Amino acid sequence: MSRRPDLSHSSLTERSAERAGPPAVSTSGMRPLNAPGVRKRTAGSSQEMSPRFLLNALLHWWKVAMPVGLILAAVAVAGVWWFFEPVFLSRALIQIRENPPALVFAIEDKSSGYVETQKEMIRSARVLRPVVESPEIRSLPELQEKKDKVQWLQRELRLTSVGKSEFLQVDFQGPDPKNAAKIVNAVVKRYFDLLAEVTDERVAKVIALLDREIANRKKHVEEKRRQIQTRTLAETGKDPFATTLHAGSGANWPHPLAGLQTRLTEVEVEREVLEAEWKALNEMPNPLAQQVDEALAGNVTSAVETNPQVQALVQQIWMAETTLREMAALARNPSQDPQCVKLSQDLERNKKSLEQMRRELATQYQVQYRTAISAKREADLASKKFEIESRRRMEEALRERYEKELKKVAPGVADMVSIEFEQAELTRATDVLNLIEQRVVELRTERQAPARVVLFDEATPPDAPLVEIPLAKMGLAAMVAFCVPFGLALGWERIVRRISGAEDLEHETNLAVIGEIARLPERSTKAGKTTSRRMAQKLRLYEESIDSMRTFLVLAEEIKGARVLAVTSAASNEGKTSVAAQLALSLARASGKPTLLIDGDMRAPDIQEVFEVRKSPGLAEVLGGECDLHEAIVPTWTPSVDVLPGGEAKQNVHKLVGNGELSAILRQVSQKYAYVVLDTPPILAASESLVLAKAADASLVCAMQDVSRASQVRTACERLVAAGCRPVAAVLNGVSSRRYEYSYGYYESVEE
């Protein structure tokens, strides 16, 4: 089927693209014109994603990408709206006082991390497991499809301190406001129940230990009292407890023993109190150590999931699942497809490895925490023990000094002092007993004091969701969807690598671009002087661009004497035929000498349609020996320009151009015509074009702006060089009139 010539340019639109050049090809045999400023290609040179490339790509695709992007954006917005589920936030407010409230005995709590401990208790499985197992919560739709409900609730529950205040927020977000409030209130209620249980258990344990210590010390005090009473009656005949004699009376003695006795009493009391505290602490179970696996289940899960190895494996599994779904959708029988089966097996192995890794890491983190808790407890006990030992050593030193001083006292006085000091020891024991009893009274009294942690405000079903209309998600989805076709267009342009300017053409061919041919304007159906004037201006620009190319060829020293010029291109629809026809007309018009235009495309000739001459006989018949050369050449409506049509090939075109007649024909026409312009078929589509180009004196490589692909143009030049042809220059066709006028200006000429 015959092709319409590119002369009309009716099929072209304004397209822009700027592509990077691939590795340079060898220029051996190329003879570029002496064009200063021609950029030589270097190995590995390339163009980046420049603003020019982006602009050209957008200009090339915006008519398609814009409506497609708008449609996709509308679909994305509708999808977000359709799948959007409103989320309701329910919140309870808990007050955690800095110090425990007191009824009578104020107690200052200097312990750190109390608030964080309460947070972990709320997240603990000991609180959340009874919540998710309760009939009221278990039946909620939010928990129906959750595999591990405790871990899910640990992730969804948000605990946040309100600034620097004493308040702690307990938040939960869900699709149903009533269910969200139920979950929050159930968690808070279970937390307070557990807190009261743990607190009562701890206080009861301390009181029980102190009661046992009180009973033991009462026995010791009574026994000490009997010993003193017996000794005093034996030595003095008086009952020491019938008078007001007490340990403090020893202070009336003007002797150093009185001061030693007072200090010894103080140290002994301190030691007794410390030993009681240490014993209570040592006998009480460690609540955190008992609850490590439950209380910190949320932290352990979070630590496991944020582990880099776990995250990498999760990402790998997600990508494998996505790939498997895509492959299964394309495969006829996924269960028997080798790639699907292999990928599925790898996916199962990775899932098993992930579960194993999670279990090992969870065990490791639990052991680490348990070790840290035990170490802290041991450190606290050791610190208390050190204080006890310090007091004991001080007590021993004071007692040793006291005994030395006692030996220095006169025998009569020593007996009295000894009795007095024994009463002081009894007083010390009584003081220790009184201190312990006072501590028990404090604990029992403050047990009725207000709680340190109270519920300030319970959760209520919210009236409105957090977001009524997901404008942010809609906007983001619309923006992403709108950019998708533009992104695909940019990706496609980077793949096809179009020639967008003279620099790109020079870069790919290493040839001087001797001409940028303005686009032949299309005839407008609009009437008016302005339209006609603009059309005439575009026509003059087109003719001027052709004449500029012709002038450069005629004046170039390197091709001086070349009579036969072949106009080639890499692929079809690159304006090669229109350039060849207009070049022949320009040569004839400027020189006034006879010029011959040969249609070398014997497969699909179309020069005859441009000049409205017969199709055959033509070049095919002359090469096949079916007619003489002068019978095939026909004159045209343009003076000094004759045309040799392509004809109708009745045999293989390779056989026609390979019989040796082509060179003889060109020599023969060169004797009659000053210039011969040979329009060859596309190089990549028709290999006989290399034979035609080699027979010519020089070749012009023609490319269409924003249409020709850089890789095809480069390959065409490589084939010309490899075939021994002489590509001397390149021509960029299809430049917009506006761009041509901007680059070269417009100079009014006299109309003929």
**689: domain CATH number?**
3.40.50.300
Residue 128: Cβ within 10 Å count: 27
Domain edge (last residue) among 420, 442, 457: 457
What is the per-residue pLDDT across 515-533, written as a single tens digit (0 to 9) for each? 888 777 665 545 455 556 6
How much is the pLDDT for 111?
Answer: 57
Residue 744 has pLDDT above 90, yes or no: no
How does DSSP assign 180-232, residue by residue?
HHHHHHHHHHHHHHHHHHHHHHHHHHHHHHHHHHHHHHHHHHHHHHHHHHHHH
In terms of pLDDT, which residue wins out, 105 or 403? 403
Residue type, 334: P
Max alpha carbon distance in the chain (Å)? 169
The confidence band for 596, taking pLDDT boundaries of 50, 70 and 90, is very high
How much is the pLDDT for 276?
Answer: 64
Q: Which residues does 85 contact at the CB level (< 8 Å), separation at least 6?
A: 175
The confidence band for 344, taking pLDDT boundaries of 50, 70 and 90, is confident
CATH number, residue 210? 3.30.70.1130
Residue type, 575: G
Please report whether residue 491 resides in a domain.
no
How much is the pLDDT for 677?
Answer: 93
Query: β-strands 595-599, 675-679: how paired?
Result: parallel
Q: Taking residues 630-635, what's their average pLDDT?
A: 89
User: Which strand (E) or helix (H) includes residue 635?
Assistant: strand 634-635
In terms of pLDDT, which residue wins out, 683 or 282? 683
Please report whether residue 241 resides in a domain.
yes
The confidence band for 167, taking pLDDT boundaries of 50, 70 and 90, is very high
Q: In what order do the strands lie in the sheet with 167-174?
A: 158-161, 167-174, 88-96, 453-457
Q: Omega before 617 cis (within 30°)?
A: yes
In terms of pLDDT, which residue wins out, 417 or 225? 225
Q: Taking residues 336-355, what's their average pLDDT?
A: 85
Residue 221 has pLDDT above 60, yes or no: yes
Q: Give the helix ranges, DSSP H, for 447-595.
A: 471-496, 502-509, 529-555, 576-591
Please report whether residue 672 resides in a domain.
yes
Cβ–Cβ < 8 Å for 646, 605: yes
How much is the pLDDT for 254?
Answer: 44
Cβ–Cβ < 8 Å for 358, 310: yes
As given in the structure block, the two tokens for residue 66 are 């814009």
How much is the pLDDT for 418?
Answer: 66
How much is the pLDDT for 212?
Answer: 81
- 453 lies in the same domain as 563: no
How much is the pLDDT for 416?
Answer: 61
How much is the pLDDT for 597?
Answer: 93
CA distances from 592 to 79, 472, 506, 673 (A): 70, 71, 32, 11
What is the per-residue pLDDT across 117-141, written as a single tens digit (0 to 9) for each? 888 889 888 899 999 999 999 889 8
Cβ–Cβ < 8 Å for 578, 6: yes
In terms of pLDDT, which residue wins out, 624 or 533? 624
Residue 334: Cβ within 10 Å count: 17
In terms of pLDDT, which residue wins out, 86 or 540? 86
How much is the pLDDT for 44?
Answer: 36
How much is the pLDDT for 95?
Answer: 92
How much is the pLDDT for 598?
Answer: 92
- 453 lies in the same domain as 580: no
Residue range(s) defining the domain that contains residue 162? 89-255+409-457
- For residues 591 and 584, give the distance between their C-alpha atoms in angstroms, rounded to a whole number: 11
How much is the pLDDT for 112?
Answer: 60
In terms of pLDDT, which residue wins out, 485 or 14? 485
Q: Taking residues 641-651, what's their average pLDDT?
A: 88
What is the per-residue pLDDT across 247-259, written as a single tens digit (0 to 9) for each? 444 444 445 566 7
Please report whether residue 648 resides in a domain.
yes
Q: Which residues does 677 contact at the CB level (< 8 Å), separation at least 6?
A: 565, 567, 580, 583, 584, 587, 595, 596, 597, 598
Tally of domains within the chain:
2
Residue keyed to tokens 């040979």: 678
Cβ–Cβ < 8 Å for 733, 573: no
Handedness of CA 601, 606, 612, 617 (dihedral sign): positive
The confidence band for 85, taking pLDDT boundaries of 50, 70 and 90, is confident
Q: Taking residues 135-159, what's their average pLDDT?
A: 87
What is the CA 113 to chain-centroid distance, rounded?
35
In terms of pLDDT, which residue wins out, 181 or 492? 181
Mean confidence (pLDDT) of the chain:
77
How much is the pLDDT for 272?
Answer: 67
What is the per-residue pLDDT across 435-484, written as a single tens digit (0 to 9) for each? 777 777 877 776 676 788 889 999 999 988 888 888 888 898 899 889 98
- 103 lies in the same domain as 228: yes
How does DSSP assign 515-553, residue by residue?
EEEEPPPPPP---SHHHHHHHHHHHHHHHHHHHHHHHHH
CA distances from 242 to 64, 233, 239 (A): 116, 11, 5
- For residues 11 and 5, give the distance between their C-alpha atoms in angstroms, rounded to a whole number: 10
Question: What proportion of the chain, given as a percentage, has pLDDT over 70?
Answer: 77
Please report whether residue 164 resides in a domain.
yes
- Residue whose C-alpha is closest to residue 615's, from 605, 630, 600: 605
- 600 lies in the same domain as 451: no
Please report whether residue 23 resides in a domain.
no
- Residue 346 φ/ψ, nearest 5 degrees: -60, -40
Please report whether residue 346 resides in a domain.
no
Q: What residue ranges in 104-178 does DSSP mark as E strands? A: 158-161, 167-174
Please report whether residue 289 resides in a domain.
no
Residue type, 381: L
Q: Which residues lie across from 727 on neighbouring strands?
A: 699
What is the per-residue pLDDT across 278-328, written as a single tens digit (0 to 9) for each? 766 666 555 444 444 444 555 566 677 778 888 888 888 888 887 777 777
- Residue 436 φ/ψ, nearest 5 degrees: -65, -45
Burial 671-682 (b: 16+ CB within 10 A, else e): eebebbbbbbbb
Q: Which residues does 265 contact at the CB level (< 8 Å), separation at least 6?
A: 247, 424, 425, 427, 428, 431
- 567 lies in the same domain as 716: yes
- Residue whose C-alpha is closest to residue 598's, from 683, 666, 664, 550: 666
For the ranges 235-244, 262-271, 468-477, which has the lowest average pLDDT?
235-244
Task: Decide: residue 589, CB within 10 A, 0-12 exposed, 13-18 middle, 19+ buried.
Answer: middle
Cβ–Cβ < 8 Å for 586, 551: no
Q: Taking residues 177-199, what's their average pLDDT?
A: 90
For the ranges 364-368, 405-409, 506-510, 636-640, which has the lowest average pLDDT?
405-409
- Residue whose C-alpha is closest to residue 277's, from 435, 99, 430, 441: 435
As given in the structure block, the two tokens for residue 306 are 């944020």
- For residues 585 and 641, give the distance between their C-alpha atoms in angstroms, rounded to a whole number: 7
How does DSSP assign 602-617, residue by residue?
SSS--HHHHHT----S
What is the per-residue pLDDT across 41-65, written as a single tens digit (0 to 9) for each? 433 334 456 777 787 778 778 888 8
